[in-house]
Homo-oligomer: A and B are copies of this chain.
């Protein structure tokens, strides 16, 4: 097994595809996806284009359709939800399909949608993701951060490092053999530095600060927790994620 961490979708190499690819958007798309599926949502369907989202969701039974739209950390006008995991209660999402578009998280999922196995990961479901990969033993694993408009982000990198760290322990493969690129080694070092205080790291992250300015303190606390959800969001068809 070789793990390649890419900080943003733009860094993913062209002309090749991983056996298993993982999209990460800790603040907050993949945290919300994991939370919604754990709460009983039927599926999450992601879109980069809001108009296409509206058109597709209009074909769905209204009582099982939730439109999730976020731009710049705020709910899109006329949508049912923004991008907060706290909106995804069982009462609200059970048996529903979430039609979702977010500033950054959507792009990383779309960039890797042609991989054999596509997974959405966050800190909240890190161990479920790592266990599945350990069981599957894919030859190559990509972990792709979302960042913020093409920039590096601490929160996605520390999550990539958390997953790689778990696989390092589970497989017993030496770091220099498991790490496919320099980013993987740096991500593991970041996780090991902050594993006891992930909330403080998220509070220092530029997107974390942006969310704090929007009064999302509880969201940051929730998103900084590791391994609280035993759920594995996998791609069923391009753009559609279900619980494994």
Contact = CB atoms under 8 A, between A and B. Distances in A.
Interface stretch (A84-92, A164-172, A177-185, A229-237): A177-185
Contacts of A186: 152, 154, 157, 186, 190
Interface string A152-166: 111001000000000
Nearest to A204: B176
A175 interface: yes
Interface string A191-202: 011100000010
A205 interface: yes
Nearest to A181: B206
A56 interface: no
A182 B207 CA distance: 9
A9 to B, nearest CB: 15
Contact of A185 (B154, B175, B183, B192): B154
A7 interface: yes
A151 interface: yes
A189 interface: yes
A152 B190 CA distance: 15
Contacts of A185: 154, 201, 204-205
Given A7-B152, A152-B7, A182 B194 contact: no
Contacts of A175: 204
Contact of A152 (B153, B183, B201, B205): B183
A193 B182 contact: no
Contacts of A193: 189, 192-193
20 contacts: A11-B151, A11-B152, A151-B181, A151-B182, A153-B182, A154-B186, A175-B204, A176-B204, A179-B204, A181-B206, A182-B205, A182-B206, A185-B204, A185-B205, A186-B186, A189-B189, A189-B193, A189-B194, A192-B193, A193-B193
What are the 7 closest A-B residue pairs judged by CB atoms, nearest first?
A189-B193, A154-B182, A176-B204, A189-B190, A182-B206, A152-B183, A186-B190
